Structure 1
Amino acid sequence: MLAGILGGQGTQIGGHYYFLLFFLTAPLVVPTHDKRGMAIVCAICVSWFCLFELHPWPSSIAVQALGPATIKLLYLSVLLSGSVVLFVALLAGEYFSELLERRIQQMASTDELTGLGNRRVFYQVLAQWQAAYHCEQRPFCVAMLDIDHFKNINDTYGHEAGDQVLRALSMLLRQGVSQEDVVCRIGGEEFAVLLAGHTLEQARMVCEALRQRIAATPIRAAGTQLQVTVSLGVGQCKGPDCLAGIDRALYAAKHAGRNAVHLHQAGVAEPNQAQV
């Protein structure tokens, strides 16, 4: 656009001042933290302006024949169109920058295989809920669960079948809790569920329902129906060491025969009697 303007109008009517416009808007186009890029853009714009200011040339004969009024109208039209193009470009750049930033944040917080929140999300939400508990005494519980004998599934049917089991289990977990609750995959076959506003007894009932639903739902993988069970440890988070206690409850559930829910309360892992 500048080549066309300067080639026809020359520099006598100020077409080269567009470079100053780009110089002034450089902070909007180049990220402010990119100091090197900012310096390069500004130096290029100022250099071109100085070059045309020191070495001007007249308009072409065809443009001069249009008359001063027509040239001014043409100049104003080009100025207006350039402003519109720049404005649209800035809006588009801001939109795509925000879109890219949201996509990056989503990729950083989402487990790629299951679509659940990852370990990072789990600890972020846990910290937020713990802060809310200390300020407002808002109770919540955490359940940690493992797929029973998951290694046997991978060894027998292959890792693709294992991935299918993980995806199916993730769907069952999401469907078995409320929208306020948060389900995350925090390890290979290890999941965590943050249960908002739940007492320990309410959390036990939710976890027991999840355990029964998973055990009663065959999962199709590798062309066959697999019967999958899970072991769960659940506790109410009131202190910084609650996860260690819940992990011990999960460990107790696995060593008590699996496919069970064990509770953690006051540092003691108590078995839930509803066990298959």
Structure 2
Amino acid sequence: MSKTKWGFKVHEADDIQRNLDWLQSQLEQLFVSDETSHSARKRIVCDIGFLIFPLIVLTYNVLFALTKNTALIITGVLQIPFALISICWLIRGRIRWPHLSHYVLAGILFMDTTVGIFSGQGTLLGTHFYYLFFTVGVAVVVPSNMPRFTWLLMLVNLTCFTLMEFFGVPAASEIAAMDLEHLKSFQMLVFLSMTLSISAAVYFADWSYFVLEDRLIKLASQDFLTGLPNRRAFHSHLKRKQASAKATEGSYCICILDIDHFKKVNDTYGHDIGDEVLKFVAQHLKDSVRVGDFVARLGGEEFVLFMPEIDLTDAIHVAERVRKAIDMCVYEGNGITIHVTISIGIIESYPDATDAELFELADQALYRAKQNGRNKLEIGTRSTVTYV
């Protein structure tokens, strides 16, 4: 029954893995691309812009409706399609054409502002100051590997602002007839929305930097196939725990685990099945160790287990539990049944032990387990350390 149950779990895991792979590919498109990290940050700011812009349009439409000024309401309604385009692009276009986001956002904002001005608002409400904001915002949004495009957009927006500021665009008669108090309120709203927008852009540029950095660290420290930490992450974890153990005079144990006859699995069933077996073993390792233990994949068919605050006797019980758990289960998938076993070499820490010495001892113990018939656990002793 357990075998059948595990067989179904393998298929479910495949579906989950496919979804996770798709999600990771989307995250990699968002955070890791052929652009520089600075460019990726700016594309994230683009996405924030696609969210902020519809909110601004909605706010203006509500306020315009409250004034009951027909000309203002019309200019607000004419801007709604641009907000819808922004939302649609964020939902659909961002996934299909992520590298066009900065172009699309710049076009939407520029055209919306232009339509708002020439459909009746004119320069009376101060909306043309958005062009000045765009001049500054271009440097934040457009990727740094497009300097000519950046300078062109800045020049176009600065020119539009300068022409409208000095020559003006007349507002519709109904808007021009508004009382001074309402005009000042709308002008204040324009400047407030610009200030909030550029503040949000700067804030999210900094925030996205930390998100990007964290994502890159995770990608660099995780084994993509099994989801376990990789060799780099293990050595980093080991150094921290060694320092802690030295301060408290505590002991810890390290196990090196190797899948028996793994080359035969690859040669017989192919590397795809070999990958499934690796994931099968990785899952059992995670399920069988104690809370607080650290499991990582060293590479190939080799795994490593770090057990903190434990003596050799208890560590052997944990390692044997892991070995027996894998021995008792059979991998089933794609019509194939494989009995998987592992060999283990274990070593307990001792004063002034280095990473290299502990790994050498555990590796020699693993070698003896292989020589003695596999599917065994052997204990490393300090007398077996050899130095080259």
Q: State TM-score, norm by structure 2.
A: 0.58
2:140, 2:201 within 8 Å by CA — same for their partners in 1? no
2:222, 2:229 within 8 Å by CA — same for their partners in 1? yes
Q: Within 5 Å, which residues of 2 pair with 1:188-267?
A: 188-237=300-349, 238-241=353-356, 242-267=358-383
Give secondary structure in 2 for the equivalent of 1:225: strand
Measure the CA separation in 2 of the matches of 1:152 and 1:69.
Answer: 84
* Aligned-pair CA distance for 1:99: 5.2
* Aligned-pair CA distance for 1:136: 2.8
1:165, 1:221 within 8 Å by CA — same for their partners in 2? no
Give secondary structure in 2 for the equivalent of 1:249: helix
Between 216-225 and 13-22, the greater mean CA deviation after superposition = 13-22
Alpha-carbon spacing, 1:47–1:263, altered in 2? closer, same or farther (3 Å): farther
How many percent of aligned residue pairs carry the same amino acid?
33
Deviation by residue 1:186-231 (Cα, 9 ceiling, x = unmatched): 1111101111212222222211221122212222144233211111
* Aligned-pair CA distance for 1:251: 1.5
User: Partner amino acid for 1:162?
Assistant: G
Structure 2 gap ranges (5+): 1-111
- Answer yes or no: is 1:180 the counterpart of 2:292: yes
How many pairs were matched up? 269
Structure 1 counterpart of 2:257, from 135, 140, 145: 145
Measure the CA separation in 2 of the matches of 1:92 and 1:123.
Answer: 33
Deviation by residue 1:78-116 (Cα, 9 ceiling, x = unmatched): 445555666666777777665555444333322222111
Structure 1 gap ranges (5+): 270-276
Between 171-180 and 106-115, the greater mean CA deviation after superposition = 106-115
RMSD over equivalenced CA pairs, Å: 3.6
Structure 1 counterpart of 2:243, from 131, 143, 158: 131
Give secondary structure in 2 for the equivalent of 1:193: strand
What residue number does 2:113 align with? 2
User: Partner amino acid for 1:148?
Assistant: D
2:252, 2:306 within 8 Å by CA — same for their partners in 1? yes
Q: Within 5 Å, which residues of 2 pair with 1:41-52?
A: 49-52=161-164
* Aligned-pair CA distance for 1:14: 3.8
User: Partner amino acid for 2:305?
Assistant: V
Give secondary structure in 1 for the equivalent of 2:223: coil
Q: State TM-score, norm by structure 1.
A: 0.78
2:126, 2:190 within 8 Å by CA — same for their partners in 1? no
Give secondary structure in 1 for the equivalent of 2:292: coil
Question: Which one has a larger percent strand, Structure 1 or Structure 2?
Answer: 1
User: Partner amino acid for 1:258?
Assistant: R
1:23, 1:45 within 8 Å by CA — same for their partners in 2? yes
2:133, 2:194 within 8 Å by CA — same for their partners in 1? no
Question: Which one has a larger percent helix, Structure 1 or Structure 2?
Answer: 2
* Aligned-pair CA distance for 1:148: 0.6
Measure the CA separation in 1 of the matches of 2:247 and 2:150.
Answer: 45
